[in-house]
């Protein structure tokens, strides 16, 4: 068993190999091959259209081909919203790109480490492009720094709403293993306030027998992160209840001080999560919410001091109760409105 795990770790692609994979040549080639609507409408589509295309790109043995298919899918989805006369054709092309991504993904299923690398590696769309093309893209993009930002195939599938691709058994296997922590990998964070991934790690399967007893990297596991988030909120709620039951009209009690500290920590956690996921930079209306997140601890302290001498005791605790969930509710509402606008448009 140990020999098999060491053999799998040797088969994992190195960061240098992943960085040298060309991505850009795949994108225009896929755009040329996925052409007309009647290709998708024929009864023998799998044998006449999909299978030849899958075999063509599978022979390249390029690990970025899944990402390229989803990038082209996003292009066709954008064209369908701009060109309403040919929206059906563009949607059919986007669907064909998703089908090709699903079938090409199964070609990497024989090597699980390589499969995880295909889905989780952050590919740059300009990797493998000539210097003239890179300069031309940067001139068109201007100040848009996300034009050549690297993304993984899973992120592209989520952004393009490739539900069939994400629901496929191969993708679900990788997603479940990432959520449970069985697969260990590091991603490059571009928005984290304190990034702890300056040293990239190769993709590997987690082995509890070899891992240290106190491994701080396990805090990245989404399953443990969800548990810690629940415990943090439960602790904040318990502290708030104790703050209400042990209040003092004349001075700030120890429970109130502890609640203010926990509320500030909860605020910082929500702010860093919003920053890391890009919500602040991508949603225009979030800028106002950003100010609420930054100033909430100061507002808590100021209103608490004012309430100690002027406002009644019941209103003082009502201020405590209303302030800490307000920015989080605003964030959820803004994300919901953004999703509704996308669906309507």
User: pLDDT tens track of the chain, all 345 residues?
Assistant: 455 555 555 567 777 777 778 887 887 777 776 655 455 546 567 777 888 888 899 898 888 899 999 999 999 999 988 888 888 888 888 888 998 999 999 999 888 888 988 998 888 888 888 888 888 877 777 655 555 578 888 989 998 989 989 999 999 999 998 888 888 777 665 555 555 555 666 777 777 777 777 777 777 788 888 898 888 888 888 888 888 888 777 888 888 888 888 888 888 877 777 776 665 555 544 444 444 444 555 555 555 555 455 445 554 555 555 555 555 555 565 556 555 555 544
* Same domain membership, residue 111 and residue 155: yes
Domain that holds residue 195: 2-217
Contact 186, 201 (CB under 8 A): yes
* Same domain membership, residue 145 and residue 79: yes
Q: Which of 167, 188, 217 is the last residue of a domain?
A: 217
* Same domain membership, residue 72 and residue 205: yes
Q: Which of 166, 191, 217 is the last residue of a domain?
A: 217
* Same domain membership, residue 132 and residue 255: no
Q: What distance in Å separates the CA atoms of residue 289 and residue 293, rounded to the nearest whole number?
A: 6
* Same domain membership, residue 327 and residue 246: yes
Q: What distance in Å separates the CA atoms of residue 291 and residue 272, rounded to the nearest whole number?
A: 13
* Same domain membership, residue 106 and residue 85: yes
Domain count, the chain: 2
* Same domain membership, residue 234 and residue 310: yes
Q: What distance in Å separates the CA atoms of residue 58 and residue 110, rounded to the nearest whole number?
A: 14
* Same domain membership, residue 206 and residue 241: no
Q: Which of 164, 184, 217 is the last residue of a domain?
A: 217
* Same domain membership, residue 181 and residue 309: no
* Same domain membership, residue 27 and residue 172: yes
Q: What distance in Å separates the CA atoms of residue 4 and residue 10, rounded to the nearest whole number?
A: 10
* Same domain membership, residue 249 and residue 155: no
What pairs with residue 300 in β-bridges?
none
Q: Is the dihedral of CA 252, 258, 296, 312 positive or negative?
A: negative
* pTM of the entire predicted model: 0.68
Q: What distance in Å separates the CA atoms of residue 159 and residue 132, rounded to the nearest whole number?
A: 28
* Same domain membership, residue 107 and residue 200: yes
Q: What distance in Å separates the CA atoms of residue 102 and residue 267, rounded to the nearest whole number?
A: 40
Residues 6+ away with beta carbon under 8 Å from 240: 259, 320, 321
């Amino acid at each position: 068993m140990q020999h098999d795990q060491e053999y799998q770790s040797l088969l994992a692609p190195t960061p240098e190999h992943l960085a040298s994979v060309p991505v850009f040549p795949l994108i225009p080639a896929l755009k040329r091959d996925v052409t007309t609507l009647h290709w998708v409408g024929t009864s023998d589509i799998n044998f006449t259209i999909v299978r030849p295309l899958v075999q063509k790109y599978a022979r390249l043995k390029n690990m970025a081909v899944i990402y390229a298919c989803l990038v082209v899918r996003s292009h066709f989805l954008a064209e369908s919203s701009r060109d309403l006369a040919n929206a059906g054709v563009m949607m059919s092309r986007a669907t064909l790109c998703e089908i090709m991504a699903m079938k090409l993904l199964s070609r990497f299923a024989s090597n699980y480490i390589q499969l995880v690398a295909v889905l989780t590696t952050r590919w740059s769309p300009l990797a493998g492009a000539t210097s003239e093309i890179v300069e031309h893209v940067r001139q068109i993009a201007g100040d848009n720094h996300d034009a050549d930002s690297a993304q993984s195939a899973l992120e592209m599938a989520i952004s393009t709403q490739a539900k069939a691709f994400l629901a496929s058994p191969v993708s679900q296997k990788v997603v479940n293993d990432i959520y449970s922590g069985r697969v260990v990998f590091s991603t490059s964070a571009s928005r984290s306030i304190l990034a702890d991934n300056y040293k990239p790690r190769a993709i590997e399967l987690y082995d509890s027998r070899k891992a240290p007893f106190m491994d701080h990297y396990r805090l990245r596991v989404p399953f443990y992160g969800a548990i810690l988030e629940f415990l943090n909120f439960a602790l904040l709620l318990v502290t708030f209840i104790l703050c209400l039951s042990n209040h003092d009209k004349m001075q700030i009690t120890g429970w109130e001080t502890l609640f203010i500290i926990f509320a500030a920590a909860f605020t910082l956690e929500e702010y860093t999560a919003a920053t890391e996921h890009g919500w602040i930079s991508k949603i225009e209306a979030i800028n106002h919410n950003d100010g609420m997140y930054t100033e909430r601890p100061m507002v808590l302290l100021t209103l608490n001091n004012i309430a100690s001498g002027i406002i009644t005791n019941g209103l003082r605790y009502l201020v405590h109760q209303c302030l800490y969930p307000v920015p989080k509710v605003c964030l959820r509402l803004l994300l919901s409105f953004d999703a509704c606008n996308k669906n309507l448009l």
